[in-house]
Amino acid sequence: MALAEINFDGIPGPTHNYAGLAHGNLAAERNATHAADPRGAALQGIAKMRALAARGYAQAVLPPHERPFVPALRALGFAGTDDHAVVAAAARAAPTLLAACSSAAAMWTANAATVSPSPDTADGRVHFTPANLVSHFHRSLEAPVTTRILRAIFGDPVRFVVHAPLPAAPQFGDEGAANHTRFATAADAPGIEFFVHGASAYDTSAPRPARYPARQTLEASAAIARRHGLAPARTVHAQQLPAAIDAGVFHNDVIAVGSGTLLFCHEHAFVDQAAVLAQLGDAVGDAFTALVVPAHAVPLDVAVSTYLFNSQLLARADGRFTLVAPLECREHPATARYLDDAVASGGPLAEVLTFDLRQSMRNGGGPACLRLRVTLTDDERAAVGARVFGDDALFAALEAWVRRHYRDRIVAADLADPALLDESRRALDELTVLLGLGAVYDFQRDHR
């Protein structure tokens, strides 16, 4: 049964804005007062999908979430005769909470879930654990809706299990596939699943960052490996270097990316890095290759500002990889030089494609943040009922949909505009029909 990786990219939502909500995410903190362009954000994301699909890489989409999220505002005590009045009450009393409930952060689908393909799991089904994202309130709102959306797409219980998110407590902080990598020696071989945590919740003797939060715990990663039925011999856990988290590496995918038998990472990615690489080598086998970038070539702060490692590694027929990187990597001399040399050396990187994803990048989201990798057999793919797989017709329909509904400028004050709530709901209502998803949003369920 042929197994193929499908990239499920998030579509930036109609309320995309910069609110400085993510502590330790330097780009998001720096751009807090910038005006955002939701239309541009969505079109940049679709352009990346379109280009990769045109090169033959399987592409699918995950929809934005409903924002502003009125149920959360009501839960926080903002009341009113209708939803507009609730938004107005929040805008008056607590604009920061309105911004948190208006964030389009669900676009970063690398944080939607951790996915274990069927060859890796004890029961032979594809397992999904939606991330609880408890480290930030604005992101924690995503978990129940992501669960609902994944269940709408992967509804066949014979082939798929969409678990509930882990318990919503800091001890089980889980940020999904951004801290998870799957290696495999051949397309159909069982994978080696590599989980990276920021800290252990209970082992207080282990090192931890001093300045910024460690978002993923060892206990969360271990619970996911257990519930997905992964073989311990094919599961590796590692800890992120606390100094890297304190330098702005808030997820492992800001400092490492892996695929097939290749790991591309910075020299300051993991605690006891030599031991981690040796363990991966043992688990993956002789073909395992670590392409480790030294700090003298790309200092940690440059890795964070360019998002060199927040790239996609796409397998090629010749066994090498295409690196899909942010445009910022071409613009910085250190990363541009590193990539030119890497390609010229004839090593595992055959080609580098860069994309302008600046709207997302300003909130700390690069190419890899915007996609969730789901590896499926042909039968599993055929069992997906929703129309989420990308082809020219779908991309054209999505672009037209974005141009019809999205604004090209949003600043903090716009979040209070009652028309934005209506526009956003109209857009999402239409999208669920376009994607064949059914009523996945609260506003569709409450008002029908």
CB distance 348 to 290 below 8 Å: no
Q: Which of 127, 136, 228, 251 is catalytic?
A: 251
| 251 part of the active site | yes
- Residue placing its CB nearer to ligand SUG in the complex, 62 or 105: 105
Q: Name the residues that contact ligand SUG, by CB under 6 A.
A: 18-22, 25, 28, 103, 105, 108, 110-111, 139, 178, 250-251, 253-254, 363-365, 369
Rounded to a whole number of angstroms, the minimum distance from the CB of residue 323 to ligand SUG is 17
Helix (H) or strand (E) holding 305: helix 300-306
Among 439, 310, 312, which Cα is nearest to 386's? 439
Question: Taking the alpha carbons of 300, 301, 304, 309 in that order, is the dihedral positive or negative?
Answer: negative
- Residue placing its CB nearer to ligand SUG in the complex, 18 or 288: 18
Q: Which of 101, 265, 329, 369 is catalytic?
A: 369
CB distance 162 to 100 below 8 Å: no
Length of the chain: 448
Produce one character per residue of 351-390: b if its CB has 16 or more CB atoms within 10 Å, e if not. ebbbbebebbbbbbbbbbbbbbbbbbbeebbebbebbbeb
Tell me the residue type at 320: R
Tell me the residue type at 6: I
Rounded to a whole number of angstroms, the minimum distance from the CB of residue 233 to ligand SUG is 28
- Residue placing its CB nearer to ligand SUG in the complex, 104 or 223: 104
Helix (H) or strand (E) holding 236: strand 235-239
Helix (H) or strand (E) holding 112: none
| 296 part of the active site | no
CB distance 108 to 16 below 8 Å: no
- Residue placing its CB nearer to ligand SUG in the complex, 113 or 223: 113
Q: Measure the CA–CA gap between 328 and 356, rounded to whole angstroms.
A: 8
Helix (H) or strand (E) holding 396: helix 392-405
Rounded to a whole number of angstroms, the minimum distance from the CB of residue 365 to ligand SUG is 4
Q: Which of 66, 175, 193, 328 is catalytic?
A: 175
- Residue placing its CB nearer to ligand SUG in the complex, 394 or 420: 420
CA angle in degrees (0–180, nearest 5) for 177-65-87: 135
- Residue placing its CB nearer to ligand SUG in the complex, 134 or 394: 134
Rounded to a whole number of angstroms, the minimum distance from the CB of residue 35 to ligand SUG is 12
Q: Which residue has the tokens 């309320």?
A: 15
| 369 part of the active site | yes
Q: Measure the CA–CA gap between 118 and 29, rounded to whole angstroms.
A: 39
Rounded to a whole number of angstroms, the minimum distance from the CB of residue 178 to ligand SUG is 3
Compute the CA torsion angle 106, 38, 79, 112 (nearest 10 deg). Answer: 0
Rounded to a whole number of angstroms, the minimum distance from the CB of residue 410 to ligand SUG is 11
- Residue placing its CB nearer to ligand SUG in the complex, 263 or 369: 369
CB distance 18 to 36 below 8 Å: yes
Rounded to a whole number of angstroms, the minimum distance from the CB of residue 254 to ligand SUG is 6
Tokens of residue 328, six digits: 């910022």
- Residue placing its CB nearer to ligand SUG in the complex, 18 or 194: 18
Q: Measure the CA–CA gap between 418 and 435, rounded to whole angstroms.
A: 26
Tokens of residue 79, six digits: 């009341």
Rounded to a whole number of angstroms, the minimum distance from the CB of residue 264 to ligand SUG is 15
Residues belonging to the active site: 175, 251, 369
